[in-house]
């Protein structure tokens, strides 16, 4: 007997890539389990499946920075209790972090792919299901998006949940309507502008010389890098990232404020036309702003 749950949850995370840098990502998770029926004539209660598996996914992967530990460009080191530095070494576009260990997800792989994350999740889940569940199939997939989209990473220090982590992200579509008509060419401009971008808040900026990073960050300067630091309920978060892969926002980077930011930027190129922005945060959720 098989039991399936489609769209069980969405993983919103970022990962490190030696080619693309820090990549915001959103994956939809489908699950199929096989085994014998229990005393209730069920393989597993649906509500229990969703709660148990979603809890484990949230605990180990969601809203974390996924780090491919076997990549030769990656360096990691434990610092004070519960903290670690992570460095991605890639020429003049290195990425350096110092954060609580719970903000990272380390996987035994050379690259972060749907396949390598699926394998990691399978190992996490297979030992945490009832004995009568004999088989487990996981499918990670992207949302089908009809139009332009971008990958962005950010951190929300004022959030009381895992969004406070300085390096998590989303794969998000954007829709722009001018006088009620959708303008895909404007949407594509934003998809290009925010392709694999880090969106940093201005008030979190600090000189990279003041950050507590690893020895691999000693040569970086404010000429080529932005530094960010903030303290949130989960601890202190620090990041240095190349200016060429960052956009600075005057406000926090909630999706509500990002929708307003896009609206204000686009409105400058329009005359008296009305503008509506529909900005998504991952899959099926977001905010709308008008100008």
pLDDT by residue (tens digit) across 114-150? 999 999 999 999 878 776 677 889 999 999 999 999 9
What mean pLDDT is reported for the chain?
A: 94
Give the pairing type, strands 149-154 and 286-290. Answer: unpaired
Q: Report the C-alpha gap between 102 and 59 in whole angstroms.
A: 9
Instruction: Work out the burial of residue 110: count CB atoms within 10 Å of its CB; fewer than 13 is exposed, 13-18 middle, 19 or more buried.
Output: middle
Q: How many domains are contained in the chain?
A: 1
Tokens representing 144 are 């089908």
In the structure, what pLDDT confidence band is assigned to residue 38 with cuts at 50, 70 and 90? low
Q: Report the C-alpha gap between 175 and 276 in whole angstroms.
A: 8
Domain that holds residue 187: 2-290
**What pLDDT sits at residue 40?**
57
CATH code of the domain covering residue 267? 3.30.479.10
Question: C-alpha 151: how far from its chain's center?
Answer: 8
Tell me if 149 sits within 8 A of 173, measured CB to CB: yes
pLDDT at 1 over 80: no
Which residue, 67, 54, 27, is CA-closest to 167?
67
pLDDT at 180 over 90: yes
**What pLDDT sits at residue 187?**
98
- Dihedral angle, C-alpha 14, 144, 6, 64, nearest 10 °: 0
**What pLDDT sits at residue 243?**
98
pLDDT at 201 over 60: yes
Mean pLDDT calculated for residue range 89-108: 98
CB-based contacts of 259-265 (< 8 A; 24+ apart in sequence) = 259/286, 259/287, 259/288, 259/289, 260/289, 262/174, 262/176, 262/190, 262/289, 263/289, 263/290, 263/291, 264/291
Mean pLDDT calculated for residue range 29-34: 89
């Amino acid at each position: 007997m098989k039991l399936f749950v489609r769209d069980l949850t969405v993983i919103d995370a970022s990962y490190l890539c030696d080619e693309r840098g820090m990549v915001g990502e959103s994956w939809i998770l489908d699950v199929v389990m096989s085994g014998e029926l229990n005393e209730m004539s069920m393989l597993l209660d649906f509500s229990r499946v969703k709660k148990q598996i979603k809890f484990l996914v949230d605990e180990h992967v969601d809203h974390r920075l996924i780090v491919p530990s076997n990549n030769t460009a990656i360096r990691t080191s434990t610092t004070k209790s519960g903290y670690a530095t992570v460095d991605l070494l890639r020429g003049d576009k290195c990425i350096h972090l110092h954060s609580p260990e719970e903000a990272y997800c380390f996987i035994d792989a050379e690259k972060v792919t749907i396949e390598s994350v699926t394998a990691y999740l399978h190992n996490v889940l297979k030992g945490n299901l009832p004995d009568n569940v004999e088989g487990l199939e996981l499918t990670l997939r992207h949302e089908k998006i009809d139009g332009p989209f971008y990958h962005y990473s950010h951190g929300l220090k004022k959030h009381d949940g895992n969004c406070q982590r300085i390096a998590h992200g989303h794969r998000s579509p954007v829709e722009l309507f001018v006088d009620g008509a959708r303008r895909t060419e404007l949407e594509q401009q934003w998809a290009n502008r925010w392709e694999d971008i880090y969106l940093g808040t201005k008030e979190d900026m600090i000189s990279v010389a003041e950050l507590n990073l690893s020895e691999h960050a000693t040569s970086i300067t404010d000429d080529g890098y932005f530094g960010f630091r903030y303290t949130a309920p989960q601890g202190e978060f620090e990041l240095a990232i190349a200016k060429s892969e960052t956009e600075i926002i005057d406000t926090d980077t909630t999706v509500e404020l990002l929708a307003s930011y896009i609206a204000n930027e686009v409105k400058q190129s329009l005359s008296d036309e009305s503008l509506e922005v529909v900005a998504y945060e991952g899959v099926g959720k977001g905010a709308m702003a008008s100008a």
